[in-house]
A and B are shown apart, each in its own frame.
Chain A
Amino acid sequence: MSFMVNRFEEGLMITSVDWALNWARQCSLWPVTFGLACCAIEMMATGADRWDIDRFGAGAYRPSPRQSDLMIVAGTVTYKMASRLVRLFNQMPEPKWVIAMGACTIGGGPYYKYGYHVVKGIDLILPVDVYVPGCPPRPESLLEGLLRLRDKIAHNTIAKASPSQAESAA
């Protein structure tokens, strides 16, 4: 490839389509406001001034699922809420990711044994990408989860369908 060396000016970046798309997607994950319970308060604290989530590009919370690509399920999901959760997830356009925040969304949390109305983990109804444990998780934990999701997105390729795309195609 010797004809490319020193041919162009400084500031030109050559990369792959995958890398560029992944970089764009991971650095502007816009969450949908889906705070349900106590974890929502920690999610709000993560968006507030001390642990500013906006510095990772994820601070533009969108009220509508149609304009967002990340769903941070923050709080306990009950059976009454479950159908709405799935409906909102289906309304999100591809590509989309889900962070399960808090013990309740991972496996039912403290309501595991006697909670007749609590869904024992949202992976029973949604494909989850990152699990953030804690009750509630500290804002730093949520930020770590976000960074892990960014790493996960960095390994995506547009040649293969993501799990949620595969599910909706199936």
Chain B
Amino acid sequence: MTPEQIAKMLQDKFDQAIIEARVDGLHPHVVVPADRWHEVAMFLRDDERMKFDWLRAISGVDRMQDGQLEAVYDLHATQPSAEPGGLWGERHSFAVKVRMPRDNPHVTSVADVWPAAEWHEREAYDLLGIVFDGNPDTVTDHDGTHPRRILCPDDWVGHPLRKDYQFPEEYQGIPGWAGDDRPLDKKK
């Protein structure tokens, strides 16, 4: 199926849930609001013509200009070979972007749809602060209920990939910079 057909099928089925569809260009995708994402995900995985069984990556993006955070899901549908032991092929690949407000970024976890999502969601929370409700590895602490951090330590402050992130001056007594040098303050 071509990206245009996939986008059309999604728009026919979900109507209001597909905010935007960009099918020309190098990265065809549709934009879905956070509250409808889980049902769109189930449809993408289970529908006979779609069969997106392989979640490649979840990338979080900080859209400062819109005041939104965005999670980009890259999906893929494998085509098993017709004869046993033959080469597998690619049915189609597509992407879905889920946008949510920057000050309240919540979206339902799709770890029950694609188990691979668990770690990707933990990383998107760690680096950008997108809270995936229902992630299998969720903890509750002073920051609320959120997926457990995966890359930064558990007591790390802030979400590093946000555009307004402040680099730490020190962590557990170790200075953030050697001596008085502050390379980020230097003019280019």
Contact = CB atoms under 8 A, between A and B. Distances in A.
A binds B: yes
Contacts, number: 33
Interface string A114-139: 10110111001100000000000000
Given A113-B184, A117-B152, A79 B178 contact: no
B174 A116 contact: no
Q: Chain A's interface: helix, strand, loop or mixed, by majority?
A: loop
Nearest to A121: B178
Contacts of B168: 116
B174 A119 contact: yes
Contact of B167 (A80, A116, A125): A116
B184 A120 contact: no
Contacts of A117: 151-152, 160
A82 B152 contact: no
A113 B183 contact: yes
A108 B182 CA distance: 13
B69 to A, nearest CB: 19
Interface residues of A, number: 16
B173 to A, nearest CB: 9
Nearest to A81: B153
Interface residues of B, number: 16
A112 B183 contact: yes
A165 interface: no
- Identify whether the interface residues of B are mostly helix, strand, loop, or mixed: loop
B160 A116 contact: yes
A107 interface: yes
Contact of B174 (A107, A112, A113, A125): A125
A79 B183 contact: no
Contacts of B160: 116-117
A120 B172 contact: no
A67 interface: no
Given A80-B152, A116-B160, A116-B167, A124 B175 contact: yes
B118 to A, nearest CB: 20
A121 B172 CA distance: 15
Interface string B108-136: 00000000000000000000000000000
Interface in A86-112: 107-108, 112
Contacts of B175: 120, 124
Contacts of B183: 112-113
A122 to B, nearest CB: 10
Interface of B: 151-153, 160, 165, 167-168, 171-172, 174-178, 183-184
8 shortest A-B CB distances, which residue pairs? A120-B178, A113-B183, A79-B171, A80-B153, A116-B167, A121-B178, A116-B160, A82-B174
29 contacts: A79-B153, A79-B171, A79-B172, A79-B174, A80-B152, A80-B153, A82-B172, A82-B174, A83-B172, A107-B178, A108-B178, A112-B183, A113-B183, A114-B184, A116-B160, A116-B165, A116-B167, A116-B168, A116-B176, A117-B151, A117-B152, A117-B160, A119-B174, A120-B177, A120-B178, A121-B178, A124-B174, A124-B178, A125-B174
